[in-house]
Every structure is written in structure tokens, then in C-alpha cells.
A and B are shown apart, each in its own frame.
Chain A
Amino acid sequence: MNQSSGAREIILLGLFLLVFGSVPFIKQSDYHLMLANHVLIWGMFAVAFNMLFGVTGMLSFGQALYYGLGAYSVGLVVKNYGSAMFLPALGLGLVLTIVISILVGLLVIRLSGVYFTVLTLAFGQLAWQITFRWYRFTGGDDGIQGIMPSGLLENHTVYYYFTLALVVVSIWFLWRVANSPMGLVLRCIRQNPERVRFLGRRVRRNQLRIYVISSFFAALAGGLMAGVTNSIHPDMFYWTSSGEVILMAVLGGIGQFFGPFIGATVIIVIQDVVGARTEYWSLIIGIIMMIMVLGMPKGLVGEIRGLMARYAAGKVNRG
């Protein structure tokens, strides 16, 4: 990374903080705050997912497993031990995620390509089924309601800033990973895993690492979301949640670090405009996905960058 792009990132970060930091002051209702919260949390989830897919080339269709795990850890602990346990519960979800993602990761990274995708999907659906069926423990289809964060976090604005801080730190961390030597190895794994081995780097170990990292932030997203919506549902484990985060990444651009964040923003705005979960929501996202794959495989951010580069090149030629 050279000097000028480093400066650009700092400007971007400042802009990001300015926009999201000012939401509590310019909002017209608590609804706007919730919407901004959704954008932050899904944005982080999508960026973390893209570390797996866009960077390393591992298309997981089962990140809902960790999203749900984070949410249900918070929900179940708060339901049984009171809202004072909100933060410890969030931590518990993250610890559980590390353990489970190592175990599941060891299995799923044995296979690559389509097999990897299907396996992650199967594990996600397995978790969904257990949550759905184990009525006495998880509340089954009823989900869990009334999950309130405690103390200062009870205030919506405070909770919003809490989320903002965690999301910024998480994205900063992921950015550092993406631009570290390990990030380079991950990119090489996507392009040519055999060559990575020739260079004396461990493919499997790096894949497992990024799987655990990505899952960790998926769980963080789930746990934070439980505090925003105050209620959770087994659907958080369902394959459609995994599909949604994939769509966000593809829409924004899987080749761009911040692309998935933009994708998440666009999807949440569309969801808000057409009414969240309309009857034909899957038709809408299906068509968006089809357009992106066939016409704009680089995603919104990637295509815009391409256009800008072309425009700049044109100017140079004319000048």
C-alpha cells in the first residue's frame, strides 16, 4: 500500500464516521436509527463474509450458522439470566463461535469449490433445524422476544454508538488482515492454491484462519442485531440469511474491500423502500442477483471504479 492510498483511506474513514456519527442528530425518528444500525451491522457482516469469498475464493453458504449463534447466545443468556448479562452473553457467543468454527472449519476446508459451498450450507441448515426443533431450549419457531441490553446500552443512541464503535474497530481489523502478508497469501490461495504450497505457505491453515475470523464477525453481527431488534428468530440460521449476505457482497463488488458494505447499504435501503419482507422479496433479490452475475460481475463499486478509470484515461489521452 503506498502513501497516497493510505491518506485516501483516512479521508474515507473520516467521512464514514461523520456520516454515521451524525445519524442520531439528524434522525427524524428512532426508525432511522434502527435503519442505520442495520446498515452498520450487515455492512460489517458482508465485509467479513467477503474476506472469505472475494479475497480467499471460499464461497460459504452457511455464515448464517454463526450469525444465528451470536444472536441466540445473547438471546438465551439474557432470557435465562437477565439483561445484566448482555455483554457477557455477547462474549460467550464469540467464544462459542471460535470453538465451533474451528471444528466445522476443519471439516469443510477438506473440500473446495462447490463441495465447500454445499457443506457450509448443510451445516447451516443443520443448526437451523436444531434451533427449530429444540423447542424447550430455543423456543423453536416462536423465537425469543424482549432481549434488552442493560445499563447505559438500554438507551438507543448509546447502543447505536456502541455498535458504531465495534463496527469501525472490526472493519479496521479486517482491513489490516486484508493488507497483511496473510491477506496476500489468501489472495494467492484464490488464484492458485498449488503455487501457494510451492512457496512454502500452508493453504489449509490460512483457509481455516480466515474461516474462523470471518465467522467471528458474523457472530458479532448476530449478537449486536439481537440488541437492535430485541427479538430473534430461527430464520437467522436459515439459508436465506446466508444468501442475503452473499447478495450484498456481490452487489457491492467482491473484488473491493468496501464493496460489500455499499451492497449492504443498497439492499437495506431497497428493503426499506419496498417494505421489508414483501411477499415477493425473493423475486426482487433473485433478479438483482441475476443482473449482477450476468451484467456487472464486478459489482457496483467495481463497475463505477472501472468507469472512473476509463474516464481518467480518456482525459489523459485527450490532454
Chain B
Amino acid sequence: MDFSFIVMQFLSGLMMATLLFLVASGLTLIFGVGNVFNFAHGSFYMIGAYLAYQTVSVWHTNFWLSVLVASLGAGVLGMLAEALFLRRIYGRADEGGFQILLTYSFILVIDDLVKLIWGTEYKSLARPSGFTGTVELFGLSIPAYNLAIIGIGIVVVIVAWFVLARTRSGRIARAAALDREMLGSLGINVPFTMTLVFGIATAMGGFAGALAAPLRSVSPGAGIEVIIDSLIVVVIGGMGNFWGAWLGALILGEVNSFAVATVPDWASLFNYLVMVLTLIFKPEGLFASRKIRRV
């Protein structure tokens, strides 16, 4: 195991971590702000991947445009799902369980709609032009697209942090997390804010799906795999915590990358191992922002 192997795997892990973070941050955003657990978040990721495929391979347009289409498409669908369905169960007794059940029904419906529209076969997407080759760095050949994803991830982290911490919209979102009733009495349209935040969260899922499409094949059923991985991320990091999601993604991405390179058949088991260890030693997550009501 030489040094270049370690660097390569580390960078590959960083790329995985970026994708994981992009998905998980949407999940943790809507949980933190709206107290909504979107079990179907992975399905919006899948929609993003399919929309990217549709835009690039069927409509023959630019890849970066397809990323925009995917994000907007997943965002609009998310807003519709929230305004038409989820909103109806807010405030109901045992709301948490019903949220899971309702978003579970989204997974089932979206899975089959995707099959109806795009069929069951695996789709693949070429890397965007200009990012197909490798970049020479410190004497190593690193796929350019991987570097692009890492770069995009860094930009997204900074923008998201800036919006949440420094802008009026971010303050409204954080206030919604604390006290929705008070926010409403201050003249903010809370239901609309919820819909919007939900849309932004699902748009991030679609964004990640589109970026990941050239790396992984696109197939129905991807939603559930993605949701489990992002859930492991938020369990490690602490649900509803932005930096926690980042740290969780980093740990999971790196563990996964080195596991794939050393024990490829059993790599996915390591994700669970990390989660189980977290649960044994720090069940509230490494970065728990709020005390989980332990029962």
C-alpha cells in the first residue's frame, strides 16, 4: 500500500463524500427546519438522475444545463408533494409515523412512475465534455470529473453556510426550526416557507442525482440505496445538523472508498459498521445540535 494509492483513494473518498453530503444536506435541512422526515428523499435524487439522462441523452443538450433541469425538476416536484400531500398531515397526532408512511408511499409511486416513463433497464450518461480525461497532480492522474465534483461540493458548502447564517432567508429558515407559530405571528408566510424549504431540499437531492449520473448507472430502485446511505450520514453527524452531515459524509465516503479498494465484495457492510459503532458510543450523533428525546 504505497503513498499514491492512499492519495488516490482519499480523493475518490472525498468525491463520494461530496455526493453523499449533497444528498444528506437536503435531508437534514428539511428535518432541521421543518421537522419533516422525508423518507423519499432518495427518490428525488433518482428523479434528478433520470432528468439529467433525459436532457443529455434524449434532448442532446449540455450536461450543465441538465444539472439545472434536474435540480429545478426535483425542486418543483418536491414543492408539489409538500403542498398537495404532506401539508395535510402536519399537526396530526403521531405525525412522525405518518410522515414516514406518507413519504414511503412517495417512494413506491415514484419508483413505478420512473419505470413507466424510462423503463427498467440501466441508463448511463457520458461525462461532460472537458471533464472526460484526467488531471496530472503531484505526479498522479486524477479523473477531472472527480475534481470538479469536489470543487462543486466546496462551493455548495460555502453558499449554503452563507445563506443559512448570513441572509434574511436563512434567518427565517432557522427561526422556522425553532418556533413556527411565533414566526407566523411576525408576519411570515409559514406554510409557503415550508413548501419552499422542502423544494430546496429536494432540489439538492436532484442536483446530487444529476452530478452522480455520469459516475453510477441510473436505475429504478436507486432511491432506497441512496436514502439508507444518507441516513447513515445524518445518524453519524446528528440529524438536522449541517456540519454534522458534512463530517458524516466525509467519514462514510472515506471508509467506503478504502473498503472498495481493499475488500470490494463487502464494502457496503462497512457503512453499517460505522453506523453501529456510532450508535454504540454516541447514539445522538457526533455533532448533535439538539437533544434527541431519548425514550
Contacts and interface: CB of A to CB of B under 8 A. Distances in A.
Interface in B105-147: 105-109, 111-113, 115-116
A114 B31 CA distance: 10
A149 B266 CA distance: 34
Interface stretch (B12-20, B93-101, B184-192, B206-214): B93-101
Given A189-B295, A297-B98, A290 B116 contact: no
B293 A287 contact: no
Interface stretch (A73-81, A117-125, A152-160, A301-309): A117-125
A251 to B, nearest CB: 11
A290 B107 CA distance: 11
B247 interface: no
A91 B283 CA distance: 34
B285 to A, nearest CB: 9
Contacts of A239: 224
B100 A114 contact: yes
A203 to B, nearest CB: 6
Contacts of B31: 114
Interface residues of A, number: 43
Contacts of B106: 286
B89 A294 contact: yes
A56 to B, nearest CB: 10
Interface stretch (B55-63, B252-260, B269-277): B269-277
Contact of B292 (A59, A115, A285, A292): A115
B98 A289 contact: no
Interface in A234-280: 239, 243, 246, 250, 279-280
B108 A130 contact: no
A137 to B, nearest CB: 13
B265 interface: yes
Contacts, number: 109
Nearest to A130: B269
B102 interface: yes
Given A107-B280, A111-B279, A294 B88 contact: yes
B108 A285 contact: yes
B108 A126 contact: no
B272 A111 contact: no
Contacts of B148: none
Given A107-B280, A287-B105, A289-B101, A122 B275 contact: yes
B113 A59 contact: no
Contacts of B89: 293-294
Nearest to A121: B228
B85 A280 contact: no
Contacts of A115: 235, 239, 292
A282 B104 CA distance: 11
Given A122-B272, A282-B111, A290 B105 contact: yes
B96 A113 contact: yes
B228 A286 contact: no
Contacts of B294: 110-112
A286 B102 contact: no
A119 B279 contact: yes
B235 A118 contact: yes
A292 B228 CA distance: 25
B69 interface: no
Nearest to A279: B115
A9 B92 CA distance: 31
B268 A129 contact: yes
A269 B94 CA distance: 29
A118 to B, nearest CB: 5
A57 B97 contact: yes
A205 interface: no
A283 B96 contact: no
A293 B101 contact: yes
Given A112-B293, A293-B89, A57 B94 contact: yes
Nearest to A112: B295
Nearest to A53: B97
Contacts of B99: 114
Given A107-B280, A285-B108, A294-B89, 14 more contacts: A111-B294, A112-B293, A113-B293, A114-B239, A115-B239, A126-B272, A130-B269, A280-B115, A282-B109, A283-B108, A289-B101, A289-B105, A290-B102, A290-B105
25 contacts: A107-B276, A110-B294, A111-B292, A111-B294, A114-B37, A115-B235, A115-B239, A119-B275, A119-B279, A130-B269, A133-B265, A280-B115, A282-B111, A282-B112, A285-B108, A286-B105, A286-B106, A286-B107, A289-B102, A289-B104, A290-B85, A290-B109, A292-B101, A293-B102, A294-B102
